[in-house]
Amino acid sequence: MADEKEKTESTEPTSDFIGPRERLKPVEPVEVEEAKAPEPEPEPEPEPSEPVGATRRQRFRRWYLMHKKISIPATILILLLAIIAIPFTRYAVAGVFVSRDIQVQVLDSKTNAPVSEASVSAGDTSGVTSGTGYVTLQDVDVGPVIIKIAKKYYKEGELKVTVPVVMSANSFSAKLVPTGRQAKIVVVDYANQEALADVEIKIADIKAKTDRSGSAAVVLPVGPHEHSAELGLEGYNTTNVTVIVSDTEVKQNDIKLTPAGRVYFLSNRSGAIDVMKTNLDGSDPKVVLAGTGSERPSSTTLIASPDWKYLALLARRDGSKDKVYIITTSDDKLTTADEGSAEFALEGWAGDKLIYTVSRTDLSPWQTGAGKLKSYNASTGKVTTLDQTTGSGNVNSNVYEYYNFVYLSGDSVIYGKGWATQSEDDADFTGKQETLSSISANGQDHKVVASYDTATKKMDFAAHAPSAIYILMTTQDSGAEEFFDYQVGSQPKAVTLTIDDFYKNYPIYISSPDGKRTLWTEVHDGKNVVTVGDSNGANAKVITQSDDYTSFGWFGDKYLLVSKDNSELGITGLNNTPIQTITSYQADTLYAKLR
């Protein structure tokens, strides 16, 4: 019923039927809105037709105005191409936005040598030429530029150039005409004779610098034939010299600069054994530590650390006992490193750590600690006991350890210990071991490399290379010999050797401060041959061969110190250059004993 009702309510009466009740109601008129017809779209206005008789210019103008999306960008592109195509316009416009770094070399017009310390300017930028005569001017506007060049005792010069917008090498050259007298200065290293570049020269009222060949051309005022000059370079001592000029030629003045730093040595030129220092050319000798008169020539020794920052001095300065001292070369300060009732032996340096042995005079040799292997850290002042001896027994019957081998390789200390006795008839070595051990200079990483029964075998050692040691093991009953090769950091390996090979007079190897090279002396045909090789002693190169010189040590990584007749110190380079004498020194020091 509900559906019928909804259906009845939704049924619209037709225009022909009027119900009974609807007849009683007045019928309201219904306004019917007429449907509007859609308005027609406006037709596009036709393009104005070309006027009759229009010229090409008029037609182009009309096309340009009607196609602005194309015509305006095309116009801008054409203008840019035109600017680039016309040089004057190109540089005038590009110079506002574009600049380039340019390089200028200035040469002497007569000698064609580089002119250093010349003032060069272009617009708002300027600079000074180097030892090679070059200067780089930064941010120079592209286009026509006038480069101005000036230096005292030269005519001022101008160079008109065009700095292009695009150029791979912006380099220009100019020549200056000298107005004074010319001189040539050539500077080399005193020790190795190598040419020195960029040496600053101050002479008269001008400045100059050497080029890569160590040369510099200077122009000096007419008048005096001698001029005082000062030469300086980082890493070298400042030197004052006299430069000579000539009226008829370009006079060459050869000058040597001495590397900075000082060597320290023992000298008895005062009557006592002093610690002295001098420049590497022997100039300006000074007493660092005056001797007291109690020093003994046979036991006073001096060893420099690889970088010469520290010196180890073993001396009897107070008249009673030897002591170990450290001298810091930065201020020549003296510090006592070790002292007491003992005898000391300096073994060498491992970096900034001094390695030495101690034999206590207040203990019997069979008492524990009668012998010690020690390390002194010169940078911290710390003493470290690396090892100590042991023993047993009494005055009538005893056995005890002793150090029979100490060798330094880099930061490693290689040492051997054997056994001895003061009572041969009653000595009992049962269970005792002869050993070869390694330990770092700071007391870490202790290892026993080889160990043998002292009762039946005996060991001996020979360092045959910078990081290699031969071991000879002899069976005491039979005399049988076995040989081993120990490469530091590995394990000993059996090798075939003769007893002559083992006891060959192997050189003492001295490592460079950076550890990359090794210095030693060999004997060939009766002559001493000072030799340098790599860290393993390979790739040997002869530095000098003579009757007189032996290797002494390093000064830095570039210079070698040699000793003549164990009493005169010299210096040279790595390229077989002549040896330059530094100074004489006290003979019979540790240097002479070791080398």
pLDDT, residue 86, reads 54
Question: Final residue of a domain: which of 212, 241, 257?
Answer: 257
What is the percentage of the chain residues whose pLDDT exceeds 70? Answer: 85
> How many structural domains comprise the chain?
5
The SS3 assignment for 208 reads strand
In this structure, the answer to whether residues 516 and 375 fall within a common structural domain is no
Question: Final residue of a domain: which of 474, 502, 530?
Answer: 502
Spatial CA neighbour of 181 closest among 105, 111, 107, 106: 111
In this structure, the answer to whether residues 145 and 222 fall within a common structural domain is no
CA dihedral of residues 121, 213, 512, 579 (deg, nearest 10): -140
| Euclidean distance between the first and the last CA atom of the chain, given in angstroms as a whole number | 134
Give the structural domain span for 240. 181-257
Rg (CA), the chain: 47
pLDDT, residue 78, reads 73
255-278: b (≥16 Cβ within 10 Å) or e: bbbbbebbbbbbbeeeeebbbbbb
Mutual orientation of helices 87-97 and 68-85 as an angle, nearest 10°? Answer: 100
| 349: alpha, beta or left? (left if phi > 0; alpha if psi -120 to 50) | beta
- Residue 249 lies inside a defined structural domain of this protein: yes
pLDDT, residue 83, reads 57
Low-confidence stretches of the chain (pLDDT < 50) are 1-37, 88-90, 93-96, 590-595
- Residue 312 lies inside a defined structural domain of this protein: no
Question: Final residue of a domain: which of 240, 257, 274?
Answer: 257
pLDDT, residue 168, reads 57
In this structure, the answer to whether residues 485 and 379 fall within a common structural domain is yes
In this structure, the answer to whether residues 230 and 369 fall within a common structural domain is no
pLDDT, residue 472, reads 96
Q: How many Cβ atoms from other residues are within 10 Å of residue 284's Cβ?
A: 10
pLDDT, residue 324, reads 98
- Residue 411 lies inside a defined structural domain of this protein: yes
pLDDT, residue 427, reads 85
CATH of the domain at 170: 2.60.40.4130
pLDDT, residue 586, reads 81
pLDDT, residue 594, reads 40
